[in-house]
Structure formats: C-alpha cells, structure tokens
Amino acid sequence: MKRQWWKEAVCYQVYPRSFKDSNGDGIGDINGITEKLDYLKALGIDVIWVSPIYDSPNDDNGYDISDYQNIMSDFGTMEDFDRLLQETHQRGMKLIMDLVVNHTSDEHPWFIEAKTSEHSEYRDWYIWQDSKDGKEPNNWASIFEGSAWEYDPVSEQYYFHTFSRKQPDLNWDNQEMRHAIYNMINWWLDKGIDGFRVDAISHIKKSFDKGDIENPEGLEYVQSFTRHMNQPGIQTYLEELKRETFEKYDIMTVGEANGVTIEDSNEWVGEEDGKFNMVFQFEHLKLWEIHDKKLNILKYKNVLNNWQVGLHNRGWNALFIENHDRPRIPSTWGSEDYRMESATAHGAVYFLQQGTPFIYQGQEIGMTNYPFTDITEFDDVHAKNIYNMDLASGRESDDIIADLQLNSRDNSRTPMQWDNSENAGFTEGTPWMKVNPNYTMINVQEEERNEHSVLNFYKKMIQFKKSHDIVTYGDFKLVYAENEHVFAYLRTLDNEKLYVIGNLSDQEVTLQSENIQYNSEDIVLNNYAIEAHNDTSLSLKPFETRVYYVK
C-alpha cells in the first residue's frame, strides 16, 4: 500500500457561518477561522475542510453559488481568505475547499443569461425540457421535496433541480460548461489550496431516458434518486474531471458519493484508477431509525466492515459520523444521558478504523441537538419544506417539530460553543442562529479544564494515531461480529495489535473470548475508570469504550 500524506491526516470540517464571528455581526467568518487556527493545531488537525464561502444568495447555506471566484461578503474578502490560507500553511496544516459543481445558484450569471432566451449561448449549460401534457416533464421529486422541475414563464420550459428550485443543475453533457468548471477548479488550485471535498458529485449524470418513476402510491412526485444518483456514464465525466484538474496537483480529493456502494468503489477510489482519493459513502447513515430512536448496531458493523474489507489494499476510506447535514451523535446514535461516554465510544469506533478521519466542528466537545420547539427557530430550507408539506398532509405541528428536532440539519449548524460567556464566545453581536442553551456546561474552555472530557479524549486519540502507524496502515478484522451491542475490531501491523472495543448501547454488556487476553496495562484509551485486570472476559458499562495496544 502506498504511503500518502492524506492517508495519515486528521481532518476537521469548519462550517464558517457557525464557527467564529470576528466582527460582531453575528455571522461566523473567515477571520474567525484564522483566529482559531491555534486551537485546531493544538487539537492535532492536519487538514481543514471549509464549507462553501463563495458568493451566494444563501438559499441553501452557501451550497447555491452565484460566483465561484468571489467570497460571500458575510464571510469577508479574498484578502481574508489568502491570509487564512497563508496562516494555515505556516502552522503546517492544509486547507481544502468545498466544490459544488452539480448545480449553481439561479442567481449565477450563467443561469441569468441562460434564462434570457432559448438561443442563449448558456442555455445548454443547464437542463431544460418542455412540459408533458401541460405539466412537468416527468414525475421526479427533488431531494428538497416537491417537483424537481421549475417552470420558466419566459421560455415556457422547465429547468431541472436535484435540490432546491434556486439550485438549477448544470448540464454535464455540455463540453463548454465542463471546461469552464475545470478552469475555475484550476484557478483555486493555482492559488495554493490543498484539495477539495466535492459536493453531490454522484448526481451529475441523469437518466432522463428512463422517464417517469413507478408510482404505486399515487404520489404527486416520486423520489428520484434512482434516476440521478451514480448513473451509468458518470465515470466518463469523472475521468475527464480528474485528468483536467486533480491529477495535475499533489492534493486531496474527497467525493460526496451518495449511492456509491463497495461494488462501485474501484472506479471511485481505487488505488490505481479511482477518480478521488476517498469518498463519503452514505450507507451507514441510514441505519438510525427515527421512530425507534435506535441505531441498528449489527447493520452498522456490517456496512463499515464491508467498506474496510472491500477497500483493503485497493482503495481508501473517509471516516465520519457527523457533518453539516447530520444531527449530533449524543442526541441520536448515542445518549444525552451518557453524553461524554456515547460521544467518545462512537468517536473511538469510527476514528480508529483504516481511513482518513473527519471531525465536524463541535463533535470533539460532544455538542448536542438544539431543543427546537417551533418552526420559526429553523433556518434549513429542507426542514421548512418538510414542515409545510407534512402540515398540508394533515400531520400535527408538534409531531413534525419533534421529528425535525431529532434529524434536522440545523442541529449541527448552531454556533460553536467556545466558552460560557454570552453567546458561547461565538459572537459579541446577535448570533445568526440561536446558541444551544447548554453552552454554559458544554464548551471548549470547560472541556479543556476537565481531564476526562470528550475533547481531551479526542486529543489523546488523535495523538495516538499520529504516533502509531498501525492506526493508519494496519489491517482490520471485525471481532464479536454477532454481538448486538458492541462494535469491536482488531487492527494488526507486523507484530503490533490494536483492539478497539465500543459498547454502543445504554446497557451493560459482558464479552467472552477464548483467544483474546485483555490486560489493563495495555490500555491506551478509555472513557471509564478501569480496575487492574488480565482476563479473557470483559464487562462493559453503557457506552464504554476501551482500546488495547499490544506489541
């Protein structure tokens, strides 16, 4: 297996609007990120992934871009960005940006020009179709609910949008459009950034020839993932994208690849022919049931084991459990009653697998979901769409809010909790989104003081990874595979062994093994006090994790 800097890196996702406000306007900004670089360095971060900071009307929190080569004024200026990049590099860290090329904003000059006439040179840069029987061209739903088609009264045609109606999809069949995108990508890489996380890239190829989707339930619009997610022919685009941009530079690329399975992985992330260094796969995210409020641990182990085994010596995993689109772990997969324990148990189990780990801001201090009680408290366009549609279908408002309180994307977008001062040290102004009221207890300053905090567990875990190649390059083998509560595995490299054991339930569990000897002297990470032991059995408390290192 080739050694690569991006395989050995620990990555941290910054959601700029909610990270740190430097000028008191209530909105996190680029200079706020620069202010906190020393914190990230002390945590042990190697690569900072910055969510979109491009010019945008902000319909979907910056994922609707109106100018790829300018900075949104909320976040600062290009000079601010250049300073951030320079200061990041001076500290020995790298910076990657979010690349959104499935769609633009409807306020992008390309789309504004495309709308002026069917004969515009930019018309074919987007996807237009005539109506069918006086309605939309087909019955596909957008990911953000409602039709995936929006009517344009000027041309009397519809344009396609996988996401919101203000995010028209680019037409990747158009060569001129593709090369304009490549020029933009190379412009950023020539600036000296260290790579990209590529948003929604598995959606760029559509299968319009398949027409309407079967609709046995008689819905107005039908979920359309099967028509625009990892479709046949997408690799042709991805190969050209890599050839014209990525492979010319020593950078890190991460594809957001909804719909990609281990069977497809060689084309996506193969060591020799992959189009990306790694991808964010989504299979494990679908295993938490909102109605049962439980994570199916057996399926969780099975999915991640398939990716670990499937990519062994062939490709590379991107490891994550939180991001800007996901609710917080202690409030969902874990337990707020066992906040520290569940945050660290889940943390150890994902982080110490083979792959490049990503930490989302606030994850390292065990931040929780926000206690939403009313739709007016939400910012997310997706949450608002769901609320309005469910309300129209007859659901009670309180029931809808209860679901959104658990799974809304806004849960991960509340301001970062730095200390126990007003607004959690995020801003001296009025925050763009309310700070979680538990900030007085859960914040960086408090976590730094507490030896047994989530933050100090993460720091210790990161340092262990950096000083032990077994975490990066060791083989992976699932153990206790049939246990419904425990996710445990063995990492091996030469004569070294690393046993990672996480009880991911709120129950006490006893493990028996005939061939594993557990010695307390070998423990390098734990989230409960542990008595001296040397045995083949283990009794684990709720959400207890232990990591044993033997050489």
Q: Which residues are catalytic?
A: 199, 256
Residue 56 contacts residue 105 (beta carbons within 8 Å):
yes
d(CA 106, CA 51): 20
Q: How far is CA 392 from CA 379, 383, 416, 433, 519, in A?
A: 20, 14, 34, 26, 59
Helix (H) or strand (E) holding 346: helix 339-351
Q: Which two tokens stand for residue 545?
A: 């994790």
3-state secondary structure of 519: strand
- Which of 10, 8, 26, 7 minimizes the C-alpha distance to 18? 26
Q: How far is CA 314 from the centre of its chain?
A: 23
How many Cβ atoms are within 10 Å of 186's Cβ, its own excluded?
15
Residue 254 contacts residue 279 (beta carbons within 8 Å):
yes
- Which of 127, 149, 145, 125 minimizes the C-alpha distance to 137? 149
Query: Please, is 513 exposed, middle or buried when counting C-beta atoms within 10 Å of its C-beta (0-12, 13-18, 19+)?
Result: middle
3-state secondary structure of 294: strand
Residue 480 contacts residue 488 (beta carbons within 8 Å):
yes
How many Cβ atoms are within 10 Å of 532's Cβ, its own excluded?
7
3-state secondary structure of 532: coil
Unique residue bearing structure tokens 């006893």: 510
